[in-house]
Each structure stands twice: as C-alpha cells, then as structure tokens.
Structure 1
Amino acid sequence: MHPFDLLGLVTYFIILVLVGYRSAKRVSGSADFAVAGNRIIWPVLFATLAASFLGGGASMGQAGKAFSEGYAFMFAASAFPIATMISGIWIAPRLKRYANAHTVGDIMAHHFGPTARLATGVFSVVFCIGILGAQALAVGTVFHAIVGIDTATGIIIGMGVVLLYSTIGGMWAVIQTDVIQFLMLAVFLPLTMMIGVHQVGGAEALVAALPETHFSIMGNYSVSAFASIFLAFLLGETLVPPYTQRALSAPDARHARIGYTVAGGFGLVFYFISATIGLVAVLQYPGIVPDFAVPTLIRDALPVGLTGLVLASLLAVVMSTADSYLNSAAVSFVSDIYKPFINPNVSDRRKLWIERVVNLLIGIGAVIFALYATSIVDALLLSYTLWAPTILVPFVLAVMLDLRCSRSAVAAMLAGAVVTGIWEWGPFALQDMTGVSGLVAGVLANIGVFVAVYCLCRRVSGNSANTQA
C-alpha cells in the first residue's frame, strides 16, 4: 500500500477518535449516551440511519453475492430497504408517542410488562452481538485484502478504534461519525463503481461479457429459495434496536418519518452500486474470494491517493454499522436488564458509567465471534433468526394496534425462538424437507401463538367480567 494511501487511512482513524473525545464532553447522562438527547433532525437521521444499515453486508456482502450469483441476491435483499421505507411511513412516527423511551424494551414493557422487557433485552443484546460480529469480520476482511495483514489483526485494529470512540462518546459520537462516514460512502463507492465499469469497457461490455442469469431477477434461485432470502431481509433487521433508537432520537414524528423513508430509498440505490462492483470484479478478478470483490477493486483499480480515501470510505461503511450495534447492545443491557432487574435505584451517573463498561465488554465479545465466523452474509442471516421470530411481531402489533397482553407476547417470543432453534439446529433437516426457512417458520409460530393466546386471554377476561356481573 502506497504511503500516501496509508496516510489517508491513518488520518481517518485520528478524526474518528477526535470526534469521540469531543462528543464525550456532551454526554452528561444516560439519555445523551442512548438517544443523543432526542435532538436529531431528519437530514442527520437519514445520514446516520443509512450509514448504520449499509454496513459490511450491504457493501462487501452484496458485492460478494453478485460476484457469485449476479443481481438476483440484490433483488431479494432489496426487501430490507423496502421494509425501512414502510417502517418510515407507518411505524417510526408512532414511536415518538413513547416519552422518555430509549430502547425497544421500554416500549415492550409499556405494552406487555417486565417479563417481556427482560426477554426483549436478552434477545436484543445477543442479536446485536451477532450483527456486530459480522461487521468486525468485514473490517478484518478489508485490512487483509488491501493492507495485507491477517484478518484477525485487522479485526482487532478496526474494532479497537470503534470501541474507543463509541465507549467515550456514546450516541453523540456514533451519530457524528455516522454523518462523516455517510458522506464518504455516498461519494467514493459510487466513484469506485464508475471507474470499474469504465475499465471493463462500459455498461454494454459488462452486460455482454456475463451470463444472462447474472442480470435476471431470480437468477438460478428456486422460487422458495428466493422467497426465503426476501423474507429474511424483509423481517430480519426491521426495527432492530439501533434503528429504533434512531427514531427515538428524532425530535418529533415528522423528522422520524422523513429520515426513515429517505434512508430506505437511498438503500435501494446503494445495493445496486455494491452489486455492480461485484459484477465488475467477476471480469477483473475471476479467481478471488467473493467477499474480497470490493476491497480488491479498490486496491488494484484506483490511482494512488484515491485508494486510501476509498478504503477509508469502505471501512466507514462497516464501522458505522458496528458502532450503532455496539451502542444499542450496551444501552439495551443496562436499560432492559440491569436497571429493572438488578439495581432499580441506580443513579443516572452510575448508569452512564455501566453503559460504557458494557459497551467495551460487548465489543470484545463481538470480536471473538468474528474470529470464528466464516462469511459476512452467513453471519448476518444467522443473526436475523434471533430477531424476527422473537421480538418483531409483538413489537409491531403493540405499536400499531396498542395491544396489551403480557402472556401473549412472552409466549409468542418463546414459541418463535424454540421453533427457529429446532428448524435451524434440530436433528432433522426441516428446511430441506419443507422448503421453509427457520426464520419464516419461527415468525409463523410467533404470529400463531400470539394471536391464539391473546384471543384466549380476552375470552377468559370476558367470562370473568360476565361472572362478576
């Protein structure tokens, strides 16, 4: 790597640490650490939300899948930005009705009680660690492909910087660095795509050189395989803790709605850019590991000076997602587990200190997870099975329909978790036998149990009222 490019990368890391240091001065309490004082207007919300969900999976993962399978995976995965726009129109504005809420658990407790809060906190923390591990693996992949150091060392260096600024600066640091990182990815990754397309002879030459299946909607996927991926991305990361925190950070419903909706639209464009880079890499570097498509193109196709900036933007994509999940995991643990069930009388100052310590410990756990993960997208899909089949359905029903039944929510979460676990890790290959993924089976079980228990509770409640009358 040329010294000029290395200088640009080091400068980027220094800026992130300085932002974290300056943000620490603005963090006077837990609300600042968790939701930045509820003062994030929609342009900033759009930038930080887009930077958060366009991480290693949306960049290197998308490009790697396009390298192997063409645009088909992009079309299936586009369910997530579509879900983000839907959430922005109908759900995110409603979240501002919950005064002083910092987490998904706060809202679940409002509707379903303390047991639902505890279950939500546990699932939220584990889910965030899984996603964070995928981003840590992506950081290591970038360092290995471009700088030449081994993946494990790259994970430790990149995540060390994320841990430093997010631990001392909380949500203020996360949001400010996200805006910087968003501006970098919005400029430099499209530029990388255009340079790559130009080097292979233009868009027409790219289309002519690759099989038609690389440009079809379903590619070589069966209907059931395509549907499984579509549903995994539609449900697996929708309204997860860091994205819900973004809506809660907005000053009002209008800012939450616009920020979410615009971020979803930008996500569709970004998915196309990442996938196209993957197709360019098929022609330029046909023998590489698919997940290395983006960093390899950056290393070999870009001129000296620009390589360092684009590398920094690629790391920005990944690190912006990592810092968001890191902050959310720490806030969820303290707000949904520690304070309600371990030390209800904890002071705000001590709560802030604990959030910082937990932030650090969770980051270390995610690094360990990343050292054993094999694929960025596989790590993401595995983590998705911890969210949609457990928390998503009761959460959405609570926000949209104002439902209140603790038994139905807790039973649905447990049923979704058990069914998904049996489907994914049980003794029988149920996905192969049925064509239904574990995530979909878990969501269906969650919905069925929630509706059944809710209706039963209402019937029992109605009978009790009649008996008393």
Structure 2
Amino acid sequence: MTAAQIGILAAIVVYLAAMVYVGFYFSKKGAGESADEFYLGGRKLGPLVTAMSAEASDMSSWLLMGLPGVAYLSGIADAGWTAIGLAVGTYLNWLIVAKRLRRYSVACGAITIPDFFSRRYEDKKNILMCIAAIVILIFFIPYTASGFKAVGTLFNSLFGVDYHLAMIAGAVVIVGYTVMGGFLAVSTTDLIQSIVMSIALVIIVFFGIHTAGGWDVVMNNAKSMAGYLSMTQLHDMATGGSTSYGLITIFSTMAWGLGYFGMPHILLRFMAIENEDKLKVSRRIASIWVVISMFVAILIGMIGYSVSKTGSIPLFASSSESETVIIRLADLLSRNGFLTSVIAGVVLAGILACTMSTADSQL
C-alpha cells in the first residue's frame, strides 16, 4: 500500500470510527429505552440537527457524484434546472408540510409515517399503515442496498479490497450505529456527515481551480463549448454541438422537487423537532445549505472539465465516467504528499458521508 493510500485510509477509518462512537454514545444515553426514543429521539431534535440531518439524508452520493457528472458532460442547463426544482421542493416541504405534520403527529401520538396515516385518519384496521409500510419496504430495500453497494465499490476501487467484504463491512458499520443509537444517533451522524460533505465540496473547488490554471481558464473553457453555459441548451460532448432544452423538459426536470413531500426519512425530522416554532430556523438553514451545496456541485462539474483539458485527469465521454470526477480529483490531490493524501481522504469520506447519511436514515 502506498503512502497516499495510507493517508486516505487513515482519514476514512477515523471518520467511520467517529460514526460508530456516536451510536455507542447515544446507546448509553438511553436511546432505545422506548419506541418513541428509538424512532423519534423523544422529539427533542434542535433546529440545526433537524435541518442538516434532513438534507444530508436526502442528498446521498448524487450530490458529490451525479450532479457534478451531469454538469461536466452537458453544461449547466440539466443540472441547473434540477437544482432549482429541488431547492423549491425543499423550501415548500418545510413551509407547507413541516409544522402541520409535527402538530398532528404529536396530537395523535404517531412515531412513524405509516403509524401517522392510520391514526390521523382513524383507520382502526390499520389498512393505511400496512399499505404505507409495504410501499416503503418495496422502494427502500433496493435504495438502501445501493448505499451498501456504493461503499463496497469505493473501497474496491481505492484499495483493491474484495468488493463483497468491503460492502459487508460498510453495512455492519451503518447498521451498527443505527441499531445502537436509534434516531438520535442517525440524526447526529447526519449532521456530522453534512459537515464532511461541505468540507469535501470546498476542498475540491479550490484544488480544482488551481489545477485547471485559475478561474479565468475554467470560464473560458466553459464559454468555448456550445450551449455549455446556457439554461435553454444542452452541450453534446460527443459532437461538440448543442441541443435545445425546451419548456416541457424544464418543468419535467424541476418536478424532481415534488418527491420531497413523500420522503419518510425527511418527514420524520419534522415530527422529531423539539418545538414546532423552531421549524422556521430549520427551514432557513436547510434551504440555504441545499442551494449553496448544489451550486458548488455544479461548479465542480465545470471545473472538472477544465482539469481534464490539462491532461491531469481523463476526458470523460459517458455519465458513468463523469460521475467519478470528484474521485479522480481526490486521487490527484493525494499524490502531493502524505498531508494532502489525508485531505483527499476527507474528500472521499464526504462521498461515504453522502451514501451513509441516506442509508442510515432509510434504515
């Protein structure tokens, strides 16, 4: 194992150990003494933890891989309208749903979303509860499994560790702190993970701009490509031309934001805040973080293309390749010494944080 790999591994191991410790800490604080404590943390989340845990659990690895990958290949239109739709959906979910759900769930004593449906609509036979639970199981089992898969893929590509062994180890860590500490542990680790994700974004932006040759170079490269900086055109990396981005496509892309109103792992945060009056603070924190983080992620896609033009990383031609732009930049960063390899490890821990924050909340 090289010095760079040791530095990266050290940063990731410290991060994973911290997640397990959080679970252990809350298990000692009595997180599993009652169903209300385990599933909703006794409804005592602060506004910061509520906001950041909700958004970290939502973004998943899409924020650090999918969104930069789209921007890298096709410019800002597709990524930009998606980000706008998600930002609007985030804000409206906090504005319209949060206080009502918090108030009604307390009034009827519900601690899960399926439980809420049955109690709120006085379903004595619990038919609504069963339907909601089945829907969650059907769609969340593969989603959560994909999070475990991402952990295995990351360790396999970085260190050559057996894919299945890495996946199982990642699953043990995530399930471990989730089971030990319950909702409070998951929400606290999500807060930490949102911080790690933010640090990863900032590091890659500055390193990428430096490697590309400066901000002016990044902008000049973007301007030189047809439709790359347009909100009504898509750049075609294969032909070098552009295609129109019509009104129907814009509305379809923005419709991503509608999904927020039905995501149980986000809705539970509304139910768990200590006071409904603090939801306004949470809404502001969540909305600002989402807007800034998605803007920076799109910017990383643009920067990544300029770094490719220097020959420091490959020029990607497909979405599966372009989604690895942050991993490639982190690998490039790790080659500058042990200290930078540790910093690169923090960036890669940010990718893990995206994956784990979603998987633990879904669990």
- The TM tier, using the shorter chain, reads 0.7 to 0.9
CA–CA distance in structure 1, aligned partners of residues 201 and 157 of structure 2: 17
Counterpart amino acid of 1:249? A
Answer whether contact 1:145 1:296 (CA < 8 A) is retained: no
Match of 1:76 in 2: 81
236-245 or 220-229, which deviates more:
220-229
Is 1:290 matched with 2:322?
Answer: yes
Q: Secondary structure at the match of 1:213?
A: coil
49-58 or 30-39, which deviates more:
49-58
Match of 2:18 in 1: 15
Distance 1:9 1:22, change over 3 A: same
Match of 1:320 in 2: 357
Match of 2:210 in 1: 198
CA–CA distance in structure 2, aligned partners of residues 144 and 293 of structure 1: 17
CA–CA distance in structure 2, aligned partners of residues 247 and 166 of structure 1: 19
Counterpart amino acid of 1:242? H
CA–CA distance in structure 2, aligned partners of residues 223 and 145 of structure 1: 40
Match of 1:346 in 2: none
Distance 1:49 1:267, change over 3 A: same
- Give the alignment of 1:351-370 within 5 angstroms: none
Answer whether contact 2:330 2:347 (CA < 8 A) is retained: yes
Is 1:270 matched with 2:293?
Answer: yes
Match of 1:309 in 2: 346
Q: How many angstroms does 1:249 deviate by?
A: 0.6
Q: How many angstroms does 1:248 deviate by?
A: 0.5
Q: Secondary structure at the match of 2:277?
A: helix
CA–CA distance in structure 1, aligned partners of residues 206 and 102 of structure 2: 40
Task: Give CA deviations for 1:51-105 in whole Å, capped at 9, x if unaligned.
Answer: 2112111221111212222222322222122211111122201112221222222
Is 1:216 matched with 2:226?
Answer: no
Q: Secondary structure at the match of 2:233?
A: coil
CA–CA distance in structure 1, aligned partners of residues 151 and 138 of structure 2: 20
Answer whether contact 1:20 1:164 (CA < 8 A) is retained: yes
Q: Secondary structure at the match of 1:265?
A: helix
Gaps of 5+ in 1: 327-469
Match of 1:38 in 2: 43
CA–CA distance in structure 2, aligned partners of residues 241 and 96 of structure 1: 13
Counterpart amino acid of 2:332? D
CA–CA distance in structure 1, aligned partners of residues 288 and 159 of structure 2: 33
CA–CA distance in structure 2, aligned partners of residues 257 and 12 of structure 1: 31
Match of 1:382 in 2: none
Answer whether contact 2:208 2:329 (CA < 8 A) is retained: yes
Answer whether contact 1:139 1:154 (CA < 8 A) is retained: yes
Q: How many angstroms does 1:270 deviate by?
A: 0.8
CA–CA distance in structure 1, aligned partners of residues 209 and 261 of structure 2: 32
Distance 1:199 1:48, change over 3 A: same
Is 1:207 matched with 2:219?
Answer: yes
Distance 1:238 1:193, change over 3 A: farther
Q: How many angstroms does 1:244 deviate by?
A: 0.7
CA–CA distance in structure 2, aligned partners of residues 215 and 308 of structure 1: 31
Q: How many angstroms does 1:42 deviate by?
A: 0.4
Q: How many angstroms does 1:12 deviate by?
A: 1.4
Is 1:135 matched with 2:144?
Answer: no
Counterpart amino acid of 1:271? M
Gaps of 5+ in 2: 235-244, 335-339
CA–CA distance in structure 2, aligned partners of residues 88 and 287 of structure 1: 40
Q: Secondary structure at the match of 1:236?
A: helix
Match of 2:197 in 1: 185
CA–CA distance in structure 2, aligned partners of residues 51 and 209 of structure 1: 32
Match of 1:229 in 2: 253
Is 1:103 matched with 2:106?
Answer: no
CA–CA distance in structure 2, aligned partners of residues 229 and 145 of structure 1: 32
Match of 1:147 in 2: 159
CA–CA distance in structure 1, aligned partners of residues 129 and 102 of structure 2: 19
Task: Give CA deviations for 1:191-218 in whole Å, capped at 9, x if unaligned.
Answer: 2112112211222211211314222224
Answer whether contact 1:34 1:102 (CA < 8 A) is retained: yes
Match of 2:8 in 1: 5
Counterpart amino acid of 1:41? G
Answer whether contact 2:209 2:303 (CA < 8 A) is retained: yes
CA RMSD of aligned residues (A): 2.1
TM-score scaled to structure 1, two decimals?
0.65
Distance 1:134 1:218, change over 3 A: farther
Distance 1:151 1:62, change over 3 A: farther
CA–CA distance in structure 2, aligned partners of residues 96 and 261 of structure 1: 17
Match of 1:399 in 2: none
Task: Give CA deviations for 1:435-464 in whole Å, capped at 9, x if unaligned.
Answer: xxxxxxxxxxxxxxxxxxxxxxxxxxxxxx
Q: How many angstroms does 1:22 deviate by?
A: 1.7
Task: Give CA deviations for 1:285-340 in whole Å, capped at 9, x if unaligned.
Answer: 344412211111111135222112222222112211111111xxxxxxxxxxxxxx
Answer whether contact 1:36 1:171 (CA < 8 A) is retained: yes
Match of 1:86 in 2: 92
Match of 1:405 in 2: none
Distance 1:279 1:154, change over 3 A: farther
Q: Identity percentage over the alignment? A: 24
87-96 or 242-251, which deviates more:
87-96
Q: How many angstroms does 1:9 deviate by?
A: 1.4
CA–CA distance in structure 1, aligned partners of residues 303 and 54 of structure 2: 28
CA–CA distance in structure 1, aligned partners of residues 164 and 87 of structure 2: 31
Higher relative contact order (CA 8 A, sep 6+): 2
Match of 1:437 in 2: none
243-252 or 222-231, which deviates more:
222-231
CA–CA distance in structure 2, aligned partners of residues 267 and 151 of structure 1: 32
